[in-house]
């Protein structure tokens, strides 16, 4: 991950978690007395550090983001892990991490090749959620799924052509919810490991939702089912 985060929410969550090495701000009103080194700079410098991102006047050099282990996400009951199969858009990854954290999911998993990874844009879109959400990068999703099955998890994939609707499952179990790539969906090998494949109904003329929007609906459906 980049050594910088930018945007007000990401900045202050990093500050709360003591990850800021040095802050770059337009004024010292928000950072003075916080016990961190800081430098007052102009907007052009902030634009440069954030690579043109919407920094809102806040950029910070931070300690390296540490990925989690899948084992750190395991729960005995009603676990919820979000697995991303070939996601390509950094904004979708950031939005899914934010939603997963807000919903109380236990972690997000993505593969280490042919997939988007955590970077400074992801951190900005996640609006501070990256400071709290466990994120794991694995080399092989199928092997990871097999290990999670051994630990009591049921695998729920999502695909537009599925026969079963997303709200027809009870979800009173440990769940790995799989979101496929924006263009191709789930890979064949991952699909073959699914215990359930569900779809979101489409009532308009467009045949699919944005990946992060679909993920949000599916994640909160799991939570809603469990709290009834």
Predicted local confidence at residue 96, as pLDDT: 98
Q: How many CB atoms lie within 10 A of CB 168?
A: 9
Looking at domain 4-62, its CATH architecture is: 2-Layer Sandwich (3.30)
Q: What angle do CA 78, 189, 84 make, to 5 degrees?
A: 50
To the nearest whole percent, how much of the chain has pLDDT over 70? 99
- Residue 212, pLDDT above cutoff 70: yes
Beginning with the edge strand found earlier in the chain, give each strand of the sheet holding 80-85 in spatial order: 135-138, 107-111, 80-85, 174-180, 153-158, 196-199, 164-165
- Residue 123, pLDDT above cutoff 70: yes
Q: What is the number of alpha carbons within 13 Å of residue 151 lying toward its C-beta?
A: 21
Give this prediction's pTM. 0.88
pLDDT, tens digit, 9 for 90 and up, residues 136-153: 999 999 999 999 999 999
- The yes-or-no answer to whether 4-62 and 70-227 have a common fold is no
Distance between start and end Cα atoms, the chain: 39
In this prediction, residues 90-119 reach a mean pLDDT of: 95
In this prediction, residues 145-162 reach a mean pLDDT of: 96
Predicted local confidence at residue 3, as pLDDT: 81
- CATH of the domain spanning 70-227, picked from 3.40.640.10, 3.30.479.30, 3.40.1280.10, 3.20.19.10: 3.40.1280.10
In the chain, what are the domain boundaries? Answer: 4-62, 70-227
pLDDT, tens digit, 9 for 90 and up, residues 11-43: 999 999 999 999 999 998 989 999 999 999 999
């Amino acid at each position: 991950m980049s050594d910088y985060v930018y945007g007000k929410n990401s900045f202050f969550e990093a500050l709360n978690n003591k990850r800021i090495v040095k802050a770059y701000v337009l004024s010292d009103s928000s950072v003075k007395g916080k016990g961190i080194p800081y430098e007052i700079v102009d907007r052009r410098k902030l634009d440069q550090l954030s690579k043109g991102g919407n920094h809102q006047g806040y950029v910070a050099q931070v300690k390296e983001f540490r990925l989690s282990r899948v084992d750190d996400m395991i729960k005995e009951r009603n676990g919820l892990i979000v697995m991303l199969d070939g996601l390509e858009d950094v904004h979708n990854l950031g939005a899914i991490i934010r939603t997963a954290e807000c919903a109380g999911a236990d972690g997000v998993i993505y593969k280490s090749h042919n997939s988007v990874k955590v970077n400074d844009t992801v951190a900005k879109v996640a609006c501070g959620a990256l400071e709290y959400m466990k994120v794991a990068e694995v080399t092989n999703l199928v092997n990871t799924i097999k290990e999670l099955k051994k630990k009591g998890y049921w695998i729920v994939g999502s695909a537009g052509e599925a026969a079963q609707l997303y709200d027809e499952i009870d979800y009173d179990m440990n769940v790995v919810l799989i979101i496929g790539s924006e263009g191709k969906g789930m890979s064949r090998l991952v699909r073959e490991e699914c215990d359930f494949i569900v779809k979101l109904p489409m009532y308009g003329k467009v045949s699919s939702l944005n990946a992060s929007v679909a993920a949000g609906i599916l994640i909160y459906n799991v939570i809603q089912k469990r709290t009834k």
